[in-house]
Amino acid sequence: MPHPQAGIIPAPSPNALFLILRVLNPPTNGRAVAKALTGVPALVEKVGAVDPRAKLVGTVGVGSPLWDVISPNKRPSGLHPFTAIESGSLRAPSTGGDVLLHVLSKRHDLNFELAMRLRAQLGDMVEVMDEVHGFQYLDSRDLTGFIDGTENPSGAKDRTQVALIGDEDKSFAGGSYVFTQRYVHNLKKWATVPTAEQEKAIGRKKKDSTELSAKAKPPTAHISRVVMEENGEELEIVRHSFPYGTVSEAGLFFIAYSKTLDIPEKMLGRMLGASGDGLHDHLMDYTQAVSGATFFAPSLEVLKTLAAR
Ligand code: HEM
């Protein structure tokens, strides 16, 4: 099996950096950008050598429009731009992007160094669409105060099975589809909600993430909306989301890796009340997505050939 990029399977480190870039004039610059991306694993190694204990890893994702330029005939079969969702007063915008850099380590300065070096290499071929510096908050909580990640697949075997493409698309095996959204929380409104009500919006206890009983957990709880089965099997994603922000604006950078984009898209449809059962995720009443994009993070082997396809 080809090798996945380094940041997908391991459990996250305490600091993350997310960079989303747009390629300017893709017919002219697309291939040169792709060439620079092939050098990211070596760049990670170089910057990471400063302090191997920081465990710096970087993962590169390529958006649908850039695949169209660098490899129009041989592209991941399930990659498409994210289609915005609007449902009543809820919406998930599609903002897109050509390149995603997802950096993780124990040292924020090394994450930043890596991002700065890639940014410098790409020069005026790209513009920065979004840059998010994520931090582990308390014992891995979202800024709503709830533990995030309790039911994330754990262990390399499970995470590999959920996140990586296998024989179903052989040319892209070892790669992974990526779905990202930046959420801005309304923490002021959330703070007015009693803990028992907050727990009903999430479906878990705030203190220790215990799941509410079937009787106590409303069908509009976050976890009621995202837990889905198809043909008797639970649909799963590997989440690498991080809290981010300042005292003025803060939220969650949501990122999921999966074998297919259908899974996070279906979950989101149910969250926003767009799945036809008239229900929406009550957590969405306290937060707003301000970006939405899809990418494909190729295996290390495919990444190497990105500029020569
Ligand atoms: C503001 C944005 C979000 C926040 C604050 C949030 C927070 C949480 C929390 C606190 C949990 C419970 C603990 C856990 O199992 O991790 C959870 C579970 C989960 N979330 Fe989210 N989430 C957000 C967005 C999303 C989105 C956009 C998706 C999918 C597209 C998603 C998919 C899931 C899944 C699959 C679970 C695990 C459910 C289970 O198996 O019990 N979340 N989330």
Map 169-209 to HEC letters: HHHHCCCEEEEEEEEEECHHHHHCCCHHHHHHHHCECCCCC
Query: Using CA atoms, how far apart are residues 106 and 53, in angstroms rounded to an integer?
Result: 8
Which pair of structure tokens corresponds to residue 145? 């105060």
Query: Using CA atoms, how far apart are residues 21 and 18, in angstroms rounded to an integer?
Result: 10
Q: What pairing do the DSSP bridges indicate for beta strands 250-258 and 126-135?
A: unpaired
Query: Using CA atoms, how far apart are residues 20 and 65, in angstroms rounded to an integer?
Result: 13
For residue 252, the model assigns a pLDDT of 98
Q: Which atom of ligand 1 is nearest to the CA of 185?
A: 1
Digits of tens for pLDDT over the chain (309 positions)?
A: 899 999 999 998 999 999 999 999 999 999 999 999 999 999 999 999 999 999 999 999 999 999 999 999 999 999 999 999 999 999 999 999 999 999 999 999 999 999 999 999 999 999 999 999 999 999 999 999 999 999 999 999 999 999 999 999 999 999 999 999 999 999 999 999 999 999 999 999 999 999 999 999 999 999 999 999 999 999 999 999 999 999 999 999 999 999 999 999 999 999 999 999 999 999 999 999 999 999 999 999 999 999 887
For residue 263, the model assigns a pLDDT of 98
> Using CB atoms within 10 A of its CB, is residue 126 exposed (0-12), middle (13-18) or buried (19+)?
buried
Pocket residue to mutate for ligand 1, from 185, 254, 259, most atoms within 8 A of Cβ: 254
Q: Could you tell me the distance, in angstroms and rounded to a whole number, from the CA of residue 256 to the centre of ligand 1?
A: 10
For residue 272, the model assigns a pLDDT of 98
Residue type, 129: M
The residue whose C-alpha atom lies closest to atom 32 belonging to ligand 1 is 226
For residue 177, the model assigns a pLDDT of 98
For residue 307, the model assigns a pLDDT of 85
Query: Using CA atoms, how far apart are residues 165 and 174, in angstroms rounded to an integer?
Result: 5
The residue whose C-alpha atom lies closest to atom 34 belonging to ligand 1 is 226
The residue whose C-alpha atom lies closest to atom 25 belonging to ligand 1 is 254
Query: Using CA atoms, how far apart are residues 162 and 117, in angstroms rounded to an integer?
Result: 32
CA dist list (Å): 138 to 30, 104, 164, 242, 254: 40, 17, 30, 12, 18
For residue 1, the model assigns a pLDDT of 80
The residue whose C-alpha atom lies closest to atom 30 belonging to ligand 1 is 264
For residue 308, the model assigns a pLDDT of 83
Helix (H) or strand (E) holding 53: none
Q: 278: alpha, beta or left, given left = phi > 0 and alpha = psi -120 to 50? A: left
Ligand 1 site residues, Cβ closer than 6 angstroms: 142, 144, 146-152, 181, 183, 202, 204, 209, 222-223, 226-227, 237, 252, 254, 256, 264, 267-268, 287
Q: Could you tell me the distance, in angstroms and rounded to a whole number, from the CA of residue 233 to the centre of ligand 1?
A: 18
Q: Could you tell me the distance, in angstroms and rounded to a whole number, from the CA of residue 225 to the centre of ligand 1?
A: 9
Which pair of structure tokens corresponds to residue 263? 């899974």
For residue 179, the model assigns a pLDDT of 98
148 is an active site residue: yes
Query: Using CA atoms, how far apart are residues 169 and 159, in angstroms rounded to an integer?
Result: 18
Q: Which of 98, 130, 148, 281 is catalytic?
A: 148
Helix (H) or strand (E) holding 42: helix 40-48
Q: Could you tell me the distance, in angstroms and rounded to a whole number, from the CA of residue 309 to the centre of ligand 1?
A: 37
Query: Using CA atoms, how far apart are residues 165 and 171, in angstroms rounded to an integer?
Result: 10
The residue whose C-alpha atom lies closest to atom 31 belonging to ligand 1 is 226
Task: Please list, in sequence order, all residues whose beta carbon lies within 8 angstroms of the beta carbon of residue 119, skipping any fewer than 6 positions away.
Answer: 19, 126, 128
